[in-house]
Amino acid sequence: MTSLNKKICLLGDAAVGKTSLVRRFVYNLFDDKYLSTIGVKVSRKTVAVPRADGVIELTMMLWDLAGSEEFDRVRSSYLRGAAGAILVCDLTRPETIDSLRVYADSLSRVNPNAQVVILGANKCDLVDRQALDLAPIERVAADLNASYYLVSAKTGHEVDNLFRHLGRLLVT
């Protein structure tokens, strides 16, 4: 079986739920406390990804970083070598959606070949799906040529699908 190893960066404003999404995907756990990430944390999860020529064993190296001033200092070293990114916004804070363009720009500047991104609009457990205005998310996703998922790290809704979709993109 072919094995691949890919670096994936979690990107998004502070408290949108980056750490929680990784925690849900890797450990299937959730914590209500806000554990501000100190420095960089790398978690890994290996998934079997189907490809035309067989199943690929993909190890996703998930890089997670605090969304504070530290970010500016380590930005390029954090992003270097990334094959892709999960851009995370918080559905209860529309301003976190616009930030995603900035993160995507940084990623493609440091890493012109890492154009594979996917959007996770997190905390869908806190919003009324009927009342939700998806237009801003759809616009950003279209501009970045990316898919988006409405997810909840808290309930686990669509979290697996988000990460696995990125996994499929990274092996093709």
- Closest C-alpha among 86, 39, 38 to residue 62: 86
Alpha-carbon Rg for the chain, nearest whole angstrom, is 15
Contacting residues toward ligand GDP, per CB under 6 A: 12, 14-20, 31-32, 34-35, 37, 67, 122-123, 125-126, 152-154
> What gap in Å lies between CA 28 and CA 22, rounded to an integer?
9
Q: Which does 6 bind (CB under 5 to 8 A by kind): Mg ion, ligand GDP, none?
A: none
Q: Which does 111 bind (CB under 5 to 8 A by kind): ligand GDP, Mg ion, none?
A: none
Q: What is the DSSP-derived secondary structure letter of residue 4? A: E
* Nearest CB to ligand GDP, comparing residues 36 and 145: 36
Contacts of Mg ion in 27-66 (CB under 5 A): 37
* Nearest CB to ligand GDP, comparing residues 4 and 101: 101
Residue that has been written with the tokens 């809704």 in this structure: 157
If one asks whether residue 19 binds Mg ion (CB under 5 A), the answer comes out as yes
Alpha-carbon dihedral 20, 145, 166, 92, rounded to 10 degrees: 20
Q: Contact positions toward Mg ion, by CB under 5 A?
A: 18-19, 37
